Structure 1
Amino acid sequence: MNRKRWIRWAVGTPLVVLGLLVGLWQLSKSWTFQLFGEFYPRVETSEKVVALTFDDGPRAGQTEEILGILKRHEVKASFFMVGRNIERHPELAARVLAEGHQVGNHSYSHHRLVLKSPAYVQEELDKTDALLRGLGVQGEILFRAPYGKKLVVLPWLLSRSGRKHITFDAVSRDDETQDVGLLTSRVMESVRPGSIILFHDGGQEKPGTVKAVDLVLGNLKEQGYRIVTVSELLALGGVAPASTVPPAN
C-alpha cells in the first residue's frame, strides 16, 4: 500500500465506522422507525381520538394522583409498568387494573434494551409478563421499550412472537422538566387524531406532570377529542406499517 492509499484508509476507515455508529445510535432512539416487527407510534385516522399512556410506574403517591384525575375526567389510559415497581407496589398495580385501565409491559429493570443478549432481553420481557398475569391481566400484553430505545435484538424477539411494540408521537418530555405550561404546550402542539401521548407516573416525583395531565385532558375534551386505551386505538385500524414510517429523529 503506497503512502497516499494508506492515508486515505487511515482517515476514511474511522470516519466510516463513526458514521455507522451515529446511524445506529439514531436508529436506536427513533420513536417513529423500527427495522422490522409490529411497531406503532400512532394510528392513522381522521377521527378525533387519542391514547393517553404513562410509563415507569407504579409509584406510590403519584400513580394514585393520576388515577384520581383520570377518574374525574372519566378517562381510561394505558400504563406501561416496570416489573420491579410492580413487585414494590403490587396493590397499586392491581388498583390500576381494577379501575379499568390497560396495563402493559415496560421491561423488568428499565435498562436500555440495546447491546444486550437475546437471553437478557427475553428475560426482561418474561419476568414482567409473569407479574402482569399474576395481577390478572388477560389477553395480549402490549410492550414499550425503556426510553423508547431498540436496535436489532429487541425488534427481532418481538417480531418472532408477533408482539406489538408501542411508542408515541405526542411527547411531554416530563422526564426533563416539570414546567406545567411547557409540558401542556408540548403535548397540545403535537397531538393529532390517532396520537399516542406519553407521560410518566413513575421515576422521580412529578408534581408538574399531575397538573399537566389535568390540563391536557381538559383541553383535549374541549377540542372534541375522545381518549381511549392503546388497544382501543389500535382497533380503529389504519395503522401505518413500520416499514412505511420514515425516521423522524
Structure 2
Amino acid sequence: MNRKRWIRWAVGTALVGLGLLVGLGKLSRSWTYQLFGEIYPRVETSERVVALTFDDGPKPGQTEEILGILKRHGVKASFFMVGRRIERSPELAARVLAEGHQVGNHSYSHRRLVLKSPSYVQEEIDKTDALLRGLGVQGELLFRAPFGKKLVVLPWLLSRSGRKHITFDVVSRDDETQDVGLLTSRVMESVRPGSIILFHDGGQDKPGTVQAVDIVVGKLKAQGYRFVTVSELLALGGITPASGTITASTAPAAN
C-alpha cells in the first residue's frame, strides 16, 4: 500500500471509529431507545395524568421533606432507590412504601452500568431486588439505570428477564441546579399527558428541589392533572406487568 492510500485508509478508519463512538454515546444517553427489551420514557394517553419520580434515595432529612409535600397534596409518587442507601436507611425506605408510594430498583452502587460485565450488572440488579423484597415490595420490580445510561449488557439482561426499563421525558435537572424558578419552569414547559417526571431525593442537599416539587404539584393539580405511580401509568397505557408477577405492591404489616 503506497503512502497516499495508507493515509486515506487511516483517515477513513479513524472517521468510522469516531462515528461509532459518537453513535454509542448517543445510544447510551437516549431516554427513548435501547437495543433490547422495553423502555418507557412516557405513556401515550389523552388523560391528564403524570407519574412523579424520585431517584437516588432514600436520604435522611430530604426524603422525609418530599414525603411531607406529597402527603399534604394527597399524591403518590415512585421512588427509584439505590441499594446501598436502602441499607443505610432501611426505616426510611420502609416508610416510603408504607405511605403508599411505589419503590423501584436504581442499582446497588449507583455506578454507570456501561462497559461493565454481565455478572457485575446482574449483581447490581439482584442485590437491590433482594433489599426491596426484604422491605415488603411485591409484584413487578421496575428498574431505572443510574444516570439513565445503558448500552448493550443492561438492556439485554433486563429483556432476558422481562424487566421494564423506566426512563423519563420531563427532567428538572436538579442535579445541576437548585434554582427553584428554573426547576419549576423546566418541568412546566415540558410536561404533557402521560409524562414521567424526574426529580431527585438523594445525593447532595436539594432545598430547591423540595420547593420546586411543592410548586409543580400545585400547578399541575390546578391544571387538572392527576398523579399516579409508574405502574399505574403503564396500566393506563395498556402496558401489563411481566408474566407471573403479582400486580399489587404492598407494605409489610405494621408491628
| TM-score scaled by length of structure 1 | 0.95
Does 2:215 correspond to 1:226?
Answer: no
Does 2:217 correspond to 1:217?
Answer: yes
Q: Is the 8 A contact 1:113 1:145 kept in 2?
A: yes
List gaps (5 residues or longer) in structure 2: 240-255
Q: Distance in 2 between matches of 1:2 and 1:133?
A: 65
For residue 151 of structure 1, what is the aligned residue in structure 2?
A: 151
Does 2:155 correspond to 1:163?
Answer: no
For residue 13 of structure 2, what is the aligned residue in structure 1?
A: 13
Shift, 1:11, TM fit: 1.3
Q: What is the 5 A alignment of 1:197-212?
A: 197-212=197-212
Q: Distance in 2 between matches of 1:18 and 1:163?
A: 32
**Structure 1 moving runs of 4+ over 4 Å:** none
For residue 49 of structure 1, what is the aligned residue in structure 2?
A: 49
For residue 69 of structure 1, what is the aligned residue in structure 2?
A: 69
Letter of the 1:119 partner, please give it: S
Q: Which moved more, 1:158-167 or 1:24-33?
A: 24-33
For residue 122 of structure 2, what is the aligned residue in structure 1?
A: 122
Q: Is the 8 A contact 1:44 1:238 kept in 2?
A: no
Letter of the 1:235 partner, please give it: A
Q: Is the 8 A contact 1:82 1:128 kept in 2?
A: yes
Does 2:185 correspond to 1:185?
Answer: yes
Q: Distance in 1 between matches of 2:125 and 2:41?
A: 20
Q: Distance in 2 between matches of 1:11 and 1:129?
A: 47
Between the aligned residues of both structures, percent identity stands at 89
Does 2:101 correspond to 1:107?
Answer: no
For residue 36 of structure 1, what is the aligned residue in structure 2?
A: 36
Q: Distance in 2 between matches of 1:126 and 1:238?
A: 27
Q: How many residues align?
A: 239
Letter of the 1:92 partner, please give it: L
List gaps (5 residues or longer) in structure 1: 240-249
Letter of the 1:82 partner, please give it: V
SS where residue 91 of structure 1 aligns? helix
Shift, 1:64, TM fit: 0.1
Does 2:131 correspond to 1:134?
Answer: no
Q: Deviations over 1:144-173 (max 9, x none)?
A: 000000000000000000000000000000
Shift, 1:2, TM fit: 2.0
For residue 95 of structure 2, what is the aligned residue in structure 1?
A: 95
Q: Deviations over 1:120-148 (max 9, x none)?
A: 00000000000000000001110000000
For residue 242 of structure 2, what is the aligned residue in structure 1?
A: none
Q: Distance in 2 between matches of 1:33 and 1:181?
A: 30
SS where residue 111 of structure 1 aligns? coil
Root-mean-square deviation (Å) = 0.7
Q: Distance in 2 between matches of 1:212 and 1:31?
A: 23
Q: Distance in 2 between matches of 1:145 and 1:57?
A: 14
| TM-score scaled by length of structure 2 | 0.93
Q: Distance in 1 between matches of 2:221 and 2:58?
A: 26
Q: Is the 8 A contact 1:50 1:197 kept in 2?
A: yes
Higher RCO by CA contacts (8 Å cutoff, separation 6 or greater):
1
Q: Is the 8 A contact 1:45 1:238 kept in 2?
A: no
Q: Distance in 1 between matches of 2:35 and 2:78?
A: 25
Shift, 1:3, TM fit: 2.2
Q: Is the 8 A contact 1:43 1:238 kept in 2?
A: no
Letter of the 1:51 partner, please give it: A
For residue 176 of structure 1, what is the aligned residue in structure 2?
A: 176
Q: Distance in 2 between matches of 1:34 and 1:193?
A: 23
